[in-house]
Amino acid sequence: MSSTGRSRYDAIVIGAGHNGLVNACYLARAGLQVLVLERNTFVGGAAVSRKLYDGFTYSNCSYVCSLLRTEIIRALELPRFGLQIIPYEGGCTLMRNGEHLAIYDNHDALRREIARHSRHDAEAYERYVRDMLRHCRFIKPLLMREPPDPTSFRPRDIRELLFLARHFHGLGEARMYDTLRFYTMSCADMLEEYFESEIVKAHLAGSSIIGTALGPRSPGSAYVLLHHYMGSIDGAVGAWGFARGGMGAITQALASSLQASGGEIRTGAPVEEVRVQSGRATGVVLESGEEITARVVVSNLDVKRTFLKTVAAAHLPPEFLDRVRKFKIRGSSGKLNIALDGLPQFPAIPQGSPATRGDMHITDTLEMVERAYDDWKEGRWSSAPYVDMLIPTQIDPTMTPDGKHYMSVFVQYCPYQLADGDWTAAKREAFGATVIDAIARHSPDFKELILHAEIRTPREIEAEVGLTEGNIFQGELTFDQLLFNRPLPGYAQYRAPVRGMYMCGSSTHPGGGVMGAPGANAAAAILRDLGRT
Amino acid sequence: MLTESAPHYRQPLLKTPFHERAREWSQLDSFVPWSGYSTVDVFTSVEQEYFAIRNASSLYDLTPMVKYRICGTDALRFLNRLVTRDLSKLGPGKVAYVVWCDDAGQLIDDGTVFCIGAQEYRLCTGERQLDWLRASAIGFAVEIQEITEDIAALAVQGPTSCALLLRAGLTGIERLRPFEHGEFTLTRAGREPMSLMVSRTGFTGDLGYELWLRPADAEPVWDVLLEEGSPRAVRPVGSRALNMARIEAGFLLPNVDFISAAHTLYVGTERSPLELGLGWLVDFGKGHFTGRRALLAEQERGPRRQLVGLDVDGNKPAHNALLYSDRSARREVGSVSSATWSPTCKRNLALAMVEAAYVSVGSTVWAEIYLNRELTWQRRVVRARVVERPFFAPARRRSTPPALY
């Protein structure tokens, strides 16, 4: 991608991930001269579509979309730049006994499906959905705003704290209790308050561990589940879908939107260091030695990479740096991208059921998911992993040749550091084989259909995307790292300890997922500071 | 014997045992989902079906009503703790209309309780409740089983309904009093005798009965009733005609006039029985029941709003109308939940939730109505008076034995 090659900008954004691009779009639309610098030769960060096998497009990292805020899609005119999100048509967990639990879009079909496993749970599911929607309603107004600093007496903070307090009190007494419990409890405890059937609990628990170094029995995991529920597609809260053309369609649309409003992007331009003079960021130095100056420097990198690798320690307060080092950002996920010669058979799913046209899983009890986590704690990849596996090409006709399919397999858990020494190519292959074998137990022809498989441990995710330890959320989504404590207490308002420098990645409020809210909120903070609102 | 159908992921809605017959009678092929079943919205003409209810007799398939069998030594104690009404005097053969609330005194649902025997009851309700019933049953020796699919149900409602059932061979039906039920045998020449339960209950506010059948008997009973009745204006009716009749009778429809507190997402959208004008179903003297303390407190401070019946000027039903304190339509004081023109009363009726200051009979509010004049929309603010409910309550609904035709 080209740029005018000028050497002075109003704002430089480091990293062309979705949040960096969202941030740059808002700044450019406010009239700033913006330059986005990307280390890779392509934009997108963890929202990319890549052709790593002839004729096949992979959603290489993130693979499905729900959280991307509608406000952002509209404000940045992403549909005009080619973005289309298509909802799942089903979902399922394949069970070891040959049975399955399917998720159907139709309310009555879903009720009858759950009732096959437990009539009680079919009805409890409605209560569960109601409560999740109530939690979503609570959190939604908090997503697109800067978290207030509870220790501050600035009018804006007091106003925002009052908003938060009023919003919380607006829940009513019973729901205030529920909300506090919810944010701290484990997913398993939460699900057990509703359901009796193991398979129903196991299926729902998946969302509580994705990208997270927690198990379903770890306190705080219930919130992670909610984090995956609070998105929507066209008003359907909790719905997930495919970006047509792969997740790169989101960042391609953002890049086009940015360029249409005069922003510039330079790929293959790794930043060596943020320049700081007299406590103020003045620009960046590229690895090539080139210097570019700007009034504002924004980092889309995670908080560790930003402050431990791109800003000289001498410019930062030691206590701040200490907290940055202690920020929880643990690698726990792997990913397989598989090119398939045809659609694999899943004998557990009856003919005509759309259960394979969405997210498929193979862990059928909470116990099994928790055991998968135990392996991670011991420094091993899970011997019986949780997978979030999808074949988007059943719905998206653009990603593979006719008759061929692409399968995205997200794997939980896979450690960044193995107990028995460093990752090697052989260990990576063995990790991949573990996952493929686990899937093949539910699909007799799966292995024969594999044309190519890209196997990614947290190491590969870190190497390509730059996410520390390959943590997909740029930091754990636990209560101690949320809201005004994200990423660090006192630094939740997108501003770095260096004047003129900002953070806009998922390390900041409201956290990870392809949501765009951190980028948008950071832009609002920057524009406020520049007096441009 | 449910009609064989495709698996749930191909055909999410179940078919009732009357489905094949309903298809034959349906001229418009207009089916709508109701509680997981496919049911008829309108067979031929809403007006004709409405007049079958008020002039002759109507058949309405209410199989989708959710039914629970509740039995055990604590069945009565359990039910009396569950619902707001006192059921201790509900003997075998009796039926009671009941509502039940959550701990905060907000309505979860309404329904009917049938006393089958000393330790056996049946609860019929609009929505599935197993989750709540089970939670409420902790500590009681009671067994709760959903039996919706085991029982076909057919409402026979209208001024000639007693006569129709007698001609169909239900000897003794004329002695059944309102809110009673009994076992009857339908005997017809050339047919096996069929035993069925009949209750004198209904959703039309008219003379009427509800038949509770083995699914296998559904089609023969339907056939007998229409063989006897169709020359005398009896016809099957869909939910749209029934809706007109139930508004005239002042009955509430879940998800239309109230949302169950088990489903509300927004704070403050749940409703208490006092707000819904169902205070007569709340018995504070019977001992503890779920929601009692909250309801008592609400009764002491008085409900903030209440459901009322409105007679609206003009003839355009005030669907979803906002209600205002005066003609200037500046201050909102409530909104309409159900509305219909009543062909029997020749009045423009509505059920509405209004602020406490406007609940007494004779109060006036102003309804904002949009008129579609050949796609040219016009806004009208018309007078609406709070009137007595039910709007229509003929003496025949209570008379025993009913008049024969």
Q: Which residue of B7, B130, B265 is in closest CB contact with A350?
A: B7
d(CA B346, CA A15): 71
d(CA A320, CA A480): 16
- Asked if B130 and A172 come within 8 Å (Cβ–Cβ), the reply is no
Residue A297 lies in a domain: yes
d(CA B167, CA A238): 56
Spell out the alpha helix ranges (H) of A347-424: 366-377
**Tens digit of pLDDT for each residue in A108-119?**
999 999 999 999
Q: Does A349 touch chain B (CB under 8 A)?
A: no
- Asked if B267 and A355 come within 8 Å (Cβ–Cβ), the reply is no
A304 closest CA partner among A280, A328, A284, A287: A328
Residue A114 lies in a domain: no
**For position A72, what pLDDT does the model report?**
97
- Asked if B13 and A137 come within 8 Å (Cβ–Cβ), the reply is no
B57 closest CA partner among B210, B198, B187: B210
**Amino acid in position B256:** V
Q: What angle do CA B122, B125, B127 make, to 5 degrees?
A: 135
Confidence band, pLDDT 50/70/90 cuts, at residue A2: low
Chain B stretch 167-206, residues whose beta carbon is closer than 8 A to a beta carbon of chain A:
none
Residue of chain B minimizing CA distance to A196: B131
**For position B4, what pLDDT does the model report?**
52
Strand A280-286 relative to strand A236-237, pairing: unpaired
- CB neighbours of A524 closer than 8 A, spacing ≥ 6? A26, A146, A533
d(CA A221, CA A189): 10
d(CA B6, CA B202): 32
Ramachandran class of B175: left when φ > 0, alpha when ψ lies in -120 to 50, beta otherwise: alpha
Around Cβ A55, how many Cβ atoms within 10 Å? 11
d(CA A66, CA A235): 11
Per domain, the residue ranges of chain B are 14-63+151-248, 66-149, 304-387
Cβ atoms A507, A501 nearer than 8 A: no
- Cβ-Cβ contacts under 8 Å, B254 against chain A: none
Answer yes or no: is pLDDT of A367 > 90. yes
Cβ atoms B166, B209 nearer than 8 A: no
pTM value? 0.94
Answer yes or no: is pLDDT of B85 > 60. yes
Region B368-373 average pLDDT: 95
- Asked if B36 and A112 come within 8 Å (Cβ–Cβ), the reply is yes
Task: Please report, rounded to a whole number, the percentage of residues in chain A having pLDDT higher than 70.
Answer: 99
Q: Give me the DSSP letters along A57-77.
A: EEE-S---BS-S-HHHHHHTT
Phi, psi of A157 (to 5 degrees): -65, -40
d(CA B302, CA B277): 12
Q: Does B7 touch chain A (CB under 8 A)?
A: yes
Residue of chain A minimizing CA distance to B133: A120
Q: Domain of residue A322: give its range.
A: 8-47+66-84+245-328+475-529
Nearest CA-CA distance, residue A135 and chain B, Å: 9
Residue A518 lies in a domain: yes
ipTM of the complex: 0.91
Task: Please report, rounded to a whole number, the percentage of residues in chain B having pLDDT higher than 90.
Answer: 94
Region A355-379 average pLDDT: 98
**At the top level of CATH, which class does the domain B304-387 belong to?**
mainly beta
Cβ atoms A70, A232 nearer than 8 A: yes
Q: Which residue of B12, B128, B265 is in closest CB contact with A137?
A: B265
Between A150 and A19, where is the model more confident?
A: A19
Q: Which residue of A113, A127, A175 is in closest CB contact with B8?
A: A113
Q: Does B104 touch chain A (CB under 8 A)?
A: yes
Nearest CA-CA distance, residue B145 and chain A, Å: 10
Strand A8-14 relative to strand A291-299, pairing: parallel
Phi, psi of A163 (to 5 degrees): -60, -45
Considering chain B, what is the average pLDDT of its residues? 96
Residue reference for tokens 């009239």: A31
d(CA B114, CA B128): 17
A473 closest CA partner among A329, A372, A337, A376: A329
- Look up residue A286 and give its two tokens: 């590229």
Mutate to test the interface with B, among A89, A103, A111, A112 (most CBs of B within 10 A): A112
- Asked if B10 and A352 come within 8 Å (Cβ–Cβ), the reply is yes
Q: Please, what is the angle between helix B130-137 and helix B75-82, to 10°? A: 110
Nearest CA-CA distance, residue A134 and chain B, Å: 5
d(CA B281, CA B274): 9
For the four alpha carbons of B248, B253, B256 and B257, in that order, the dihedral sign comes to positive
- CB neighbours of A364 closer than 8 A, spacing ≥ 6? A93, A94, A95, A96, A97, A198, A199, A202
Region A236-255 average pLDDT: 96
**Tens digit of pLDDT for each residue in B183-226?**
999 988 788 899 999 999 999 999 999 999 999 999 999 999 99
- Asked if B265 and A130 come within 8 Å (Cβ–Cβ), the reply is yes
Q: Does B33 touch chain A (CB under 8 A)?
A: yes
What superfamily in CATH does domain B66-149 come from?
Aminomethyltransferase beta-barrel domains (3.30.70.1400)
Q: Which residue of A123, A127, A170 is in closest CB contact with B267?
A: A170
Q: Give me the DSSP letters along B214-226.
A: -GGGHHHHHHHHH
Compute CA B218 distance to the chain's CA centroid, rounded to the nearest angstrom.
21
Answer yes or no: is pLDDT of A170 > 90. no
- CB neighbours of B222 closer than 8 A, spacing ≥ 6? B18, B21, B59, B154, B236
- Asked if B131 and A127 come within 8 Å (Cβ–Cβ), the reply is yes
Q: A204: burial class by Cβ within 10 Å (0-12, 13-18, 19+)?
A: buried
- Asked if B134 and A120 come within 8 Å (Cβ–Cβ), the reply is yes
**Tens digit of pLDDT for each residue in A60-102?**
999 999 999 999 999 999 999 999 999 999 999 999 999 999 9
Strand B152-157 relative to strand B208-213, pairing: antiparallel
Residue of chain A minimizing CA distance to B264: A130
- Look up residue A123 and give its two tokens: 């009805």
d(CA B112, CA B108): 14
d(CA B299, CA B283): 12
- CB neighbours of A248 closer than 8 A, spacing ≥ 6? A44, A47, A48, A49, A50, A57, A59, A60
For the four alpha carbons of A216, A222, A223 and A229, in that order, the dihedral sign comes to positive
d(CA B120, CA B73): 9
d(CA B402, CA B177): 9
- Which one of 3.30.1360.120, 3.40.920.10, 3.50.50.60, 3.40.50.300 gives the CATH number of domain B14-63+151-248? 3.30.1360.120
Count of domains in chain A?
1
**Tens digit of pLDDT for each residue in A463-509?**
999 999 999 999 999 999 999 999 999 999 999 999 999 999 999 99
DSSP A500: T
**Tens digit of pLDDT for each residue in B239-272?**
999 999 999 999 999 999 999 999 999 888 999 9
- Asked if B9 and A123 come within 8 Å (Cβ–Cβ), the reply is no
d(CA A369, CA A186): 13
A208 closest CA partner among A225, A183, A185: A225
- Asked if B13 and A108 come within 8 Å (Cβ–Cβ), the reply is yes
**For position B3, what pLDDT does the model report?**
44
CA atoms within 13 A on the CB side of B155: 23
How many residue pairs bridge chain A and chain B with CB atoms within 8 Å of each other? 60
Confidence band, pLDDT 50/70/90 cuts, at residue B360: very high
For the four alpha carbons of B386, B391, B393 and B394, in that order, the dihedral sign comes to positive
- Look up residue A520 and give its two tokens: 């948008």
Angstrom CA distances, A62 to A35, A265, A330, A335, A388, stand at: 25, 22, 17, 9, 11
Mutate to test the interface with B, among A100, A108, A129, A135 (most CBs of B within 10 A): A108
Cβ atoms A439, A387 nearer than 8 A: yes
Q: Does B13 touch chain A (CB under 8 A)?
A: yes
Nearest CA-CA distance, residue A91 and chain B, Å: 12
- CB neighbours of B167 closer than 8 A, spacing ≥ 6? B228, B229
Angstrom CA distances, A496 to A102, A312, A487, B52, stand at: 46, 13, 11, 76
**Amino acid in position A432:** G
- Cβ-Cβ contacts under 8 Å, B264 against chain A: 130
Chain A stretch 81-140, residues whose beta carbon is closer than 8 A to a beta carbon of chain B:
102, 104, 106-109, 111-113, 119-120, 122-124, 126-127, 130, 133-134, 137
Residue of chain B minimizing CA distance to A103: B9
Residue A291 lies in a domain: yes
Nearest CA-CA distance, residue B66 and chain A, Å: 13
**For position A3, what pLDDT does the model report?**
60
Nearest CA-CA distance, residue B128 and chain A, Å: 7
Q: Does A174 touch chain B (CB under 8 A)?
A: yes
CATH code of the domain covering residue A276 = 3.50.50.60
Q: Does A461 touch chain B (CB under 8 A)?
A: no
Around Cβ A412, how many Cβ atoms within 10 Å? 25
d(CA A137, CA A175): 12
**Tens digit of pLDDT for each residue in B31-73?**
999 999 999 999 999 999 999 999 999 999 999 999 999 999 9
For the four alpha carbons of B244, B245, B250 and B254, in that order, the dihedral sign comes to negative
d(CA B30, CA B18): 15
Angstrom CA distances, A172 to A166, A474, B101, B269, stand at: 10, 34, 18, 12
Around Cβ A319, how many Cβ atoms within 10 Å? 11
Residues pairing with B256 in the sheet: none
d(CA A48, CA A15): 13
- Asked if A104 and B9 come within 8 Å (Cβ–Cβ), the reply is yes
Residue A34 lies in a domain: yes
